[in-house]
Amino acid sequence: MVHDLSEGHSLANQFIAEIRDADIQKDRLRFRRNMERIGEIFAYEISKELPYHSKEIQTPVDQAKSKVIAEQPVLGTILRAGLALHNGLLNYFDEADNAFISAYRKHNDQGGFEIELEYVTCPALNERTLIISDPMLATGQSMVHTINELLKIGHPGRIYIVSAIAAWPGIQHVQNNLSNISIWCGAIDDKLTKEAFIDPGLGDAGDLAFGKKVQD
């Protein structure tokens, strides 16, 4: 299942437009905040699909019946680019357990790259809801590699992938290599550049949020 927020009318479209805008991107704080707000919108939308139970709440006047989330999800993100998006999800799922994965493209002399995964910290996953975020789902290789690594730790009952912008080649790679995955995107672009960046995309989300890094 693929959910594309750009197919509807909401503030998500405004924030996606701003993180794409080369002039607005010059304000690093605004870029991070917009990415965070996109994460908050994803959290709200995904929350509609999660299980709830009834709870009696004591107000200052009387008791009230409320529906509350049955279990907080596990929120995972791919460092470093995913931190702002992750924080937006965490603002809403504020008691969630968290997982952090260091996965990145290690470039070679031939102009290609391999996915390097150096660090994973993760809570118990069995039968839980896992929401894993990465602002850009380009080739899908990092996401597939990351989820396969997490599946060595435990087997979630549900897995949601959250990306601000995705490309169809990356979505197809995820669908071809993983099962029972729900993909949530702010927008979906058709193609990748020869360097495997999303076209038109927005550039390097990690660099825009946190500054340029030395190339690996």
Rounded mean pLDDT, 75-102: 94
Q: Which of the 8 DSSP states describes residue 70?
A: S
* Numbers of helices and strands, H then E, in the chain: 6, 12
Question: Do 3 and 44 contact (CB within 8 A), yes or no?
Answer: no
- Three-class SS of residue 145? helix
Quick one: which of 71, 127, 79 has its CA closest to 99?
A: 79
Helix H or strand E encompassing 176? helix 168-177
Rounded mean pLDDT, 59-76: 95
Architecture of the domain spanning 2-210:
3-Layer(aba) Sandwich (3.40)
What pLDDT is recorded for position 176?
Answer: 96
Quick one: which of 100, 82, 102, 74 has its CA closest to 35?
A: 82
What pLDDT is recorded for position 55?
Answer: 95
pLDDT digits (tens, 9 = 90+) for 16-51: 999 999 999 999 999 999 999 999 999 999 999 999
pLDDT digits (tens, 9 = 90+) for 154-163: 999 999 999 9
Mean pLDDT, the chain, whole residue set: 92
What pLDDT is recorded for position 212?
Answer: 87
Please give the backbone phi and psi of residue 152, each rounded to the nearest 5 degrees, phi first: -75, -20
For helices 168-177 and 141-150, angle between their N-to-C axes, nearest 10 degrees? 30
pTM over 0.75: yes
By CB atoms closer than 10 A (0-12, 13-18, 19+), residue 177 is: middle
Q: Which of the 8 DSSP states describes residue 81?
A: T
What pLDDT is recorded for position 114?
Answer: 66
What pLDDT is recorded for position 160?
Answer: 98
Delimit the domains of the chain by residue range. 2-210
Q: What stretches of 2-136 show up as alpha helix (H) in DSSP?
A: 11-20, 28-47, 83-92
Percent of the chain with pLDDT over 90: 82
What span, in angstroms and rounded, lies between the C-alpha atoms of 160 and 33?
A: 22
pLDDT digits (tens, 9 = 90+) for 97-149: 999 998 766 655 665 666 677 788 899 999 999 999 999 999 999 899 899 98
The set of residues, in sequence order, having a beta carbon less than 8 Å from that of 27 and lying 6+ positions away, is: none
Helix then strand then coil, % of the chain, to nearest 5? 35, 35, 35
Q: Which of the 8 DSSP states describes residue 10?
A: S
